[in-house]
Amino acid sequence: MKIEIQNLNVYYGEKQVIQDLSLQIPRNEILSIIGPANSGVTTLLRSLNRLVDLTPGCRVEGSILLDGESIFDEEVSVTELRRKVGMVFEIPAPLPMSIFDNIAYGPRLKGTKNRQKLMDVAEESLRLAALWDETKDRLKMPAFKLSGGQQQRLCIARVLALRPEVIMLDRSCSGLDPISTAKIEDSLVQLKKQFTVVLAPHNVQQAGRVSDRVAFMLMGKLIEDGKNSEVFSSPKDQRTNDYITGRFG
Amino acid sequence: MRKFKENLSGRIFFILALSSISALALITVFIFIKGVPFIAEVGLFNFLFGSSWAPDHGEYGILPMIAGTFIVTFGAALIGIPIALCCAVFLAEIAPAWLRNLFRPAIQLLAGIPSVVYGFWGLVFIVPFIMNHFGGPGVGILAASIILGIMILPTVISISEVSILALPRQYKEGALALGLTHWQTIRSVILPSAKSGIVAAVILGIGRAVGETMAVIMIVGNAPAMPRSILDPVRTLTTNIGLEMNYASGLHEKALFATGIVLFIIIMILNASAQYFTRKRSF
């Protein structure tokens, strides 16, 4: 198992947004976490890289193990953790610099100075994110001049350049056209060979298309999880069935 | 009937809005009508680059005042802007909520203090301090720069803070999720992204320093001569008008309007560039 979540409770002030959640995330697979709005999916992802620390009044109980080690340990460097567990957001937010610098930024912080090495990393990451062909001739262009779909793939490339172990995508395709979405989905399937992917898809269909496993969350609770084929063909819980067949959500 | 009411209220709003623009137009036309003939009579070069201001002897060179304005403003920027920017970053990014709630109204209060009070405080506090520790008359460039540096703080702080807070949350979280530390995020993502707003804030602050009159009159020394050190008294464009308008007449009065034109153009340029930078957002 890459990540093991045990009895996780997350509170925002008085409000409990995740209730006693336990979930195993196997390595080199794509796990989709689905659920209607306000189910706690985003909070769960933000707990895995401790981005919840930024929310004032947020409290986390329970344990999350990454490769068997607790991410809440005193010795764990949050910065290090976030490089290992990369995240792509719903709205792409490239850094205000060129395409190349966006990707080189992370490796540079880690101490890579060599221009050729950075170039190699950039090319590899852009290829993995299915953006290389569109940008190879204009790497010096400001990143915000790219289209929304391209910006999102750039954000994926930027995360990949850090050589993370886990990549989380939080509804990262929700604002994208079908072609960009298809490209990203293709690259996700490529990526799982090297990484563990946790995906909060923007709709159930996407989960069905790309994932190996599916977890269904409702009101902060994990209702069920399992292999993609099993959950979609014979869900154990009535609520899961209702959700994936589109009766609510 | 309904349509008539709609039209009528639209017109009333338009006329009222127009009145504020027409105030600007009237003032502009007026100072140009009064000032331009003077410049034509004395000569633009003699006016702008003449180094002697002696209306009694028919000498109307405002170079010392232009120099005074620029030096005092530069000093104010040097003192005020670094403080203001650090304060804005602190408020927008670092300060806990309770401290922010304490700081913000305090800074707004700073903007509400009448300029004559700033001048008075400078006169009884800063001026003697400079006189005792650095020598000279006390009044002069340094004193005016310090006071103006404080006076531009609220403008620069609040506008830069707003432009930092206006950044999409994703900028910051995206950077933090990349494993940047908070400080690295501020330095390499937040400040560059908010750059246009911060530059506009700085320009507006400088505009405020250029235009301030009352506080400056009280502490700048008002000698219409080229300064040789930062302790020397100087006169600025604004104080030149403020000091002499009471008794000026004839050509002298027109010379003051012409001074107003120069001031007007400087402020216009500053405001236009602030506008330019505000529009040039990168997101």
Q: Tell me: the pLDDT tens digits for A140-187? A: 999 989 988 889 889 989 999 988 999 999 988 887 788 888 888 888
Chain B residues within 8 A of A92 when measuring between CB atoms: 170
Chain A residues within 8 A of B173 when measuring between CB atoms: 51, 54, 89, 93
B250-to-A69, B35, B61, B255 alpha-carbon distances in Å:
87, 11, 17, 9
pLDDT of residue B283: 47
Domain span at residue A69 reads: 3-244
A102 Cβ contact list (under 8 Å, min separation 6)? A94, A95, A143, A154, A157, A158
Q: Kindly provide the ipTM of the predicted complex, given to two decimals.
A: 0.79
Mind giving me the DSSP string for A56-113? TTEEEEEEEEETTEETTSTT--HHHHHHHEEEE-SS----SSBHHHHHHHHHHHTT--
CATH number at residue A233: 3.40.50.300
Measured distance CA(A182)–CA(A179) in Å, rounded: 5
Nearest to B181 among A79, A90, A92 (CB): A79
* Count of positions (residues) in chain B: 283
Q: What is the pTM of this model?
A: 0.80
Three-state DSSP at A223 gives strand
For residue A35, tell me if it sits in a domain. yes
Nearest to B176 among A54, A56, A91 (CB): A54
Q: Most distant CA pair in chain A: distance in Å?
A: 56
For residue A145, tell me if it sits in a domain. yes
Verify whether the Cβ–Cβ distance B177 to A162 is below 8 Å. no
For residue A151, tell me if it sits in a domain. yes
B58: left (phi over 0), alpha (psi -120 to 50) or beta: left
b/e burial code for range A191-229 (CB count within 10 A of at least 16 → b): bbeebbbbbbbbebebbbbbbbbbbbbbebebbbbbebe
Verify whether the Cβ–Cβ distance B282 to A142 is below 8 Å. yes
Verify whether the Cβ–Cβ distance B174 to A82 is below 8 Å. no
Residues paired with A24 in a beta bridge: A4
For residue A249, tell me if it sits in a domain. no
For residue A202, tell me if it sits in a domain. yes
Looking at CA atoms only, how far is residue B160 from chain A in angstroms?
17
For residue A36, tell me if it sits in a domain. yes
Reading chain B (283 residues) residue by residue, the pLDDT tens digits are 677 878 888 899 999 999 999 999 999 999 999 999 999 999 999 999 999 999 999 899 999 999 999 999 999 999 999 999 999 999 999 999 899 999 999 999 999 999 999 999 999 999 999 999 998 899 999 999 999 999 999 999 999 999 999 988 888 888 888 888 889 899 888 998 899 899 999 999 999 999 999 999 999 999 999 999 999 999 999 999 999 999 998 999 999 999 999 999 999 999 999 888 887 654 4
For residue A119, tell me if it sits in a domain. yes
Verify whether the Cβ–Cβ distance B184 to A109 is below 8 Å. yes
Nearest to B179 among A93, A95, A106 (CB): A106
Nearest to B178 among A80, A90, A162 (CB): A162
In total, how many domains does chain A have? Answer: 1
Q: Which residues of B touch A (CB under 8 A)?
A: 97, 168, 170-171, 173-181, 184, 188-189, 192-193, 195, 282-283
For residue A214, tell me if it sits in a domain. yes
CA B191, B192, B195, B197 dihedral sign is negative
Task: Name the DSSP letter for residue A129.
Answer: T
Question: Directed axis angle between helix A148-160 and helix A178-191, to 10°?
Answer: 10
b/e burial code for range A147-159 (CB count within 10 A of at least 16 → b): eebbbbbbbbbbb
Three-state DSSP at B280 gives coil
Query: What chain B residue is nearest to A50 in terms of C-alpha separation?
Result: B177
Verify whether the Cβ–Cβ distance B282 to A89 is below 8 Å. no
